[in-house]
Amino acid sequence: MLRIEGLIAAVFTPVKENGDLNLDVIDQYIDHLVSQGVLNVFVGGSTGEGASFSLAERKQLTEKWVTAGSGKLQNVIVHVGGISVPDSQDLARHAESVGVQGISTLPTVVFKPKNASKVAEHLKMLYDAAPKTPLLYYHLPGSTGVDILIEDLVNAVEKLGVPTFSGVKFTGANLKDFRRSIKLFGDKYMFPYGCDEQMLCVLPLGCRSFIGSTYNYAGHLYNKLIESYKNGDMEMALKLLDKSQSLVGVLFAHSFDSGINKQVMSLVSGINMGPPRHPIIYRQDDEMKKVRCELEEAGFFNGIY
Ligand SMILES: CC(=O)N[C@@H]([C@@H](O)[C@H](O)[C@H](O)CO)[C@@H](O)CC(=O)C(=O)O
């Protein structure tokens, strides 16, 4: 069973200028996360550009996060999803063999599952490959087009029997479904939320864990937001939410994707993440200069957190 409270950074995948993995940077990266109170990572998801790397590279990446994170991080969750189920099973088997705390998968997006029962069958295939490792479903309907109700999925999983099922990473807009999932199943499974700039909207729904990209470089902000909410200081919590939304606003003004986000990570953290693996999402220097100014104007470098 996987139970995590607080922030889980959806980590970027550092590469060299030629696009090869740059695993050496990960030690420094982990120290940077820990210094912000971020002790859990989600590796190779959409932020980590998992789909742009080969199976061999994804395995190397998993091994590095596990070994470098040992004694520093609390949980390493690895995204093993992809187009091919046997490839995902291979990644799941590998992740289990090196001792990750959890695995996660998006649905297959070419041959899309038509309903919650089909998603449950997919999860069962990953359980077969990694029968000892907690498994999270990654709900991202806006990108995958697989728009099932999570309440239905949990019922289908329980009917089918997927002993490692541990919950759902929820990056969807249906907050009724999200609340019902927490209400009905929150004592058995975790439901980390995936829309950073809406964190304050889901804290009152009982959400206690969050997987997101901006926790990589604004971990202090979000940790303070959670603390303010817990202490009943809604004025401060709202101020911090507004700050998060200004930050994300800059990213969206530059056609948000994993590329601009990764380049902002390098800018803010001072750790060189390298370019995005896929060249079509790379921003040139002149654009990044503007991004820097806009982040400064949004008060991001000298903020209230
Ligand atoms: C679509 C997307 O990138 N969503 C992000 C958010 O953290 C997102 O970047 C943030 O809320 C800004 O919109 C995460 O949910 C993604 C994530 O966890 C992952 O990389 O797998």
Catalytic residue check, 290: no
8-state DSSP, 110: S
What are 137's strand-pairing partners? 105, 168
Atom of ligand 1 nearest to the CA of 140: 1
**Ligand 1: residues within 6 Å at CB?**
10, 42, 45-48, 171, 194-197, 211-214, 248
CA 94 – ligand 1 centroid, Å: 25
CA 111 – ligand 1 centroid, Å: 23
CA-closest candidate to residue 218, choices 281, 285, 293, 304: 304
pLDDT at 45: 97
Q: Which of 143, 197, 199, 213 to mutate to test the pocket of ligand 1 (most atoms within 8 A of CB)?
A: 213
Q: CA angle 226-3-14, nearest 5°?
A: 75
Helix (H, G, I), strand (E, B) or coil at 211: strand
CA-closest candidate to residue 210, choices 165, 235, 218, 202: 202
Among 59, 169, 224, 262, the active-site one is 169
CA 198 – ligand 1 centroid, Å: 11
Decide if 265 contacts 290 (C-beta within 8 A): no
pLDDT at 298: 86
CA 211 – ligand 1 centroid, Å: 7
Burial 93-104 (b: 16+ CB within 10 A, else e): bbbbeeebbbbb
pLDDT tens track of the chain, all 305 residues? 899 999 999 999 999 999 999 999 999 999 999 999 999 999 999 999 999 999 999 999 999 999 999 999 999 999 999 999 999 999 999 999 999 999 999 999 999 999 999 999 999 999 999 999 999 999 999 999 999 999 999 999 999 999 999 999 999 999 999 999 999 999 999 999 999 999 999 999 999 999 999 999 999 999 999 999 999 999 999 999 999 999 999 999 999 999 999 999 999 999 999 999 999 999 999 999 999 999 999 888 765 55
DSSP calls for 37-67: T--EEEESSTTTTGGGS-HHHHHHHHHHHHH
Using CA positions, which residue lies closest to atom 7 of ligand 1? 212
CA-closest candidate to residue 236, choices 228, 244, 246: 228
Domain 6-231 has CATH 3.30.9.10: no
pLDDT at 299: 82
Domain residue extents for the chain: 6-231
Phi and psi (nearest 5°) for 45? -85, -145
Q: Which of 137, 171, 199, 245 to mutate to test the pocket of ligand 1 (most atoms within 8 A of CB)?
A: 171
Atom of ligand 1 nearest to the CA of 142: 1
Complex ipTM value: 0.98
CA 11 – ligand 1 centroid, Å: 10
What CA–CA distance (Å, rounded) separates 294 from 300? 9
Decide if 123 contacts 136 (C-beta within 8 A): no
Atom of ligand 1 nearest to the CA of 211: 18
Catalytic residue check, 188: no
